[in-house]
């Protein structure tokens, strides 16, 4: 599990992580206020907006939100260069991941940003190409925002409800991060109280 007391602010998101972020307006606004930036690749935009997939009603609302975010510049899509495409092809032969996920891995490494993905297979492959702290997830983001007191317990409950409302469910992976964040925040608060009780140095 990632260190929930740390979170890298510059991220390249894959399709799944973008859907999870956009599914919760509270999470999206809080992340932006915390200076978390998420970009993506053109391949991810294609997967989100144009690639045929099974029909689910919530997808239309998520697509609308993504289009708005791309239009106002809060999420930027970047093209993949020819040499990057060649690397994507090499990775594609090794793992059964989508082109979007592979393009995110390659682009994150090239630009020295974190890869934001909620896909276990993508996370596992990324460990062979990126530093462990450069592989992040939506539950990790929520836990860090909570640990940093940017989300309260009631906010976390609202985020979960908003995600479920658009058929995005991060449990139980999310609960592990949240429990860890609660413990770490309690330890940090206890340490602060102990420090305040120390007599002043002469």
In sequence order, which residues have a C-beta less than 8 Å from that of residue 92 and are 6 or more positions away? Answer: 99, 102
Quick one: tokens of 74? 């809060």
Residue 202 domain flag: no
Q: Residue 30: is it exposed, middle or buried by C-beta count within 10 angstroms (0-12/13-18/19+)?
A: buried
Residue 148 domain flag: yes
Q: Please give the pLDDT value at position 97.
A: 81
CATH for 58: 3.40.50.1010
Task: Name the domain count of the chain.
Answer: 1
Average pLDDT per consecutive 10 residues, the chain (202 residues; last block may be shorter): 89 97 98 98 94 83 97 95 75 75 91 95 89 96 96 95 92 83 83 52 53
Q: CA angle, corner 184, sides to 122 and 109, nearest 5?
A: 25
Q: What is the four-CA torsion angle of 91, 97, 101, 104, rounded to 10 degrees?
A: -10
Give the Cα separation of 45 and 178 in Å (integer).
Answer: 30
Residue 1 domain flag: no
Residue 3 domain flag: no
**What's the DSSP call for residue 9?**
S
Per-position DSSP letters for 61-86, written without gaps between them: HHHHHHHHHHHHTSS-EEPPPHHHHH
Residue 192 domain flag: yes
The secondary element (H helix, E strand) that includes residue 164 is helix 153-165
In sequence order, which residues have a C-beta less than 8 Å from that of residue 6 and are 6 or more positions away? Answer: 133, 144
Give the Cα separation of 161 and 153 in Å (integer).
Answer: 13
Expressed as residue numbers, the domain containing 121 is: 10-197
Residue 2 domain flag: no
Residue 62 domain flag: yes
Q: Please give the pLDDT value at position 94.
A: 64
- pTM here is 0.88
Q: Please give the pLDDT value at position 113.
A: 97
Residue 15 domain flag: yes
């Amino acid at each position: 599990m990632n260190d929930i007391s740390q979170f890298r602010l510059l991220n390249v998101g894959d399709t799944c992580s973008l859907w999870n972020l956009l599914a919760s307006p509270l999470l999206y606004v809080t992340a932006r206020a915390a200076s978390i930036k998420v970009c993506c690749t053109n391949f991810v935009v294609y997967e989100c907006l144009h690639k045929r997939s099974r029909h689910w009603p919530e997808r239309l609302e998520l697509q609308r939100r993504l289009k708005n975010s791309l239009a106002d510049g809060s999420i930027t899509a970047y093209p993949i260069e020819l040499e990057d495409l060649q690397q994507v092809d090499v990775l594609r032969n090794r793992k059964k991941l989508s082109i979007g996920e592979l393009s995110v891995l390659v682009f994150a490494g090239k630009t020295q940003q974190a890869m934001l993905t909620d896909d276990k297979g993508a996370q596992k492959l990324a460990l062979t190409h990126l530093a462990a702290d450069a592989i992040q997830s939506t539950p990790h983001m929520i836990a860090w925002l909570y640990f940093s007191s940017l989300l309260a317990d009631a906010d976390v409950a609202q985020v979960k409800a908003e995600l479920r409302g658009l058929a995005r469910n991060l449990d139980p992976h999310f609960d592990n991060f949240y429990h860890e964040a609660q413990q770490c925040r309690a330890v940090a608060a206890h340490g602060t109280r102990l420090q305040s009780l120390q007599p002043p140095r002469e």
